[in-house]
Amino acid sequence: MSQTEHKIIQKAAAGDRSAFRELVLEHSHAMFRLAWRLTSDESAAEDIVQEAFIKAWRKIDGFRMESSFKSWLHRITVNTAMDYLRKHSRRKQFETEEPEWDPGLQSAEMPVHDTQIDIQKQTEAAMMDLSEVERSALLLKHFEGHSINEIAQMLEITTGACKQAIFRAVKKMRVALRPLVTT
């Protein structure tokens, strides 16, 4: 964390709204990207970003300066997205126990096309076919570069469960995306 950001966070934690606005301007895009990747829904992602920032404003005096502010915001964003998905009945399977999964069936359902738009669509479909915890863990690892320990804390699961979620997500993604590599 830079000295400048450190000072801005301190001011925001003391109730300085203009300082908090600086944080909103700085982090909105990144939070939107994370929220969209969690939901694959633009409108939902925008709602989640707004709600997450409101939560952050209410909790910012409890933020520990020695930790990463970005990680802290990510944690709030992930939790808000999870709540959103639950409320909107788009939740799949959050529990550690996974339902029977048939990789052959899933890959057969994925038509192979050459265009890059199809690749994007298939990647999105594969990503959204993951359970919430799998998708969250994979996104936070793959796109955000958080450590497994950090992700486990964000998702409030054990490190072992976090690893297993990533492993399951990777297995499913590989089966879904394999046809695109071989074409």
Partner 1 sequence: MKHITDDDLTLLFYGEHEDPKLAATVADSSELSARFDILSAELRLADNFVPPHRGDSYGAEVWQKISPQLGGDAGKSKSIIKGWLSAISQPRFSLAGAFSFVLVAALAFTLGRNGGQSPNGDPGQIIDMPTVALQGLNTQRLLSHSVSSHLEQVNVVLTQFANSSESSANEAGDATDMLVANRLYRQAATRRGNKQLAEFLADLEPLLIEMAYEAQSASAATRERMQQEIRNGLLFRIRVMNKQLKKTEISV
How many residues are present in the chain? 183
CA atoms in the 13 A half-sphere facing the CB of 129: 24
Minimum distance of partner 1 from residue 31's CB (angstroms): 8
Q: Lay out the site mask for partner 1 across 55-74 (x = CB under 8 A, - = otherwise).
A: --x-----------------
Which residues are within 8 A (CB) of 138 and not within 5 positions of it... i.e. 6 or more apart?
A: 127, 130, 165, 166, 169, 170, 173
| Number of other CB atoms surrounding residue 61 within 10 Å | 10
User: Which structure tokens are listed for 17?
Assistant: 């709204």
**In angstroms, rounded to a whole number, what is the distance separating the alpha carbons of residues 42 and 69?**
24
Q: By CB under 8 A, name the one of 9, 44, 155, 173 that touches partner 1.
A: 173
Q: By CB under 8 A, name the one of 63, 79, 148, 153 that touches partner 1.
A: 148
Q: Rule CB under 8 A: is residue 6 a binding residue for partner 1? A: no
Q: By CB under 8 A, name the one of 5, 11, 13, 50 that touches partner 1.
A: 50
Which residues are within 8 A (CB) of 103 and not within 5 positions of it... i.e. 6 or more apart?
A: 171, 172, 175
Q: Which SS3 state, helix, strand or coil, does residue 95 take?
A: coil
Task: Compare residues 26 and 98 and give the one whose CB is closer to partner 1.
Answer: 26
Choices 75-83, 89-97, 103-111, 113-121; region in contact with partner 1 by CB under 8 A: 113-121
Which residues in this chain contact partner 1 in the complex, by CB under 8 A? 15, 17-18, 20-21, 24-30, 32-33, 36-37, 42, 45-46, 49-50, 53-54, 57, 116, 119-120, 123-124, 127, 138, 141-145, 147-148, 163, 166-167, 170-171, 173-174, 177-178, 180-181
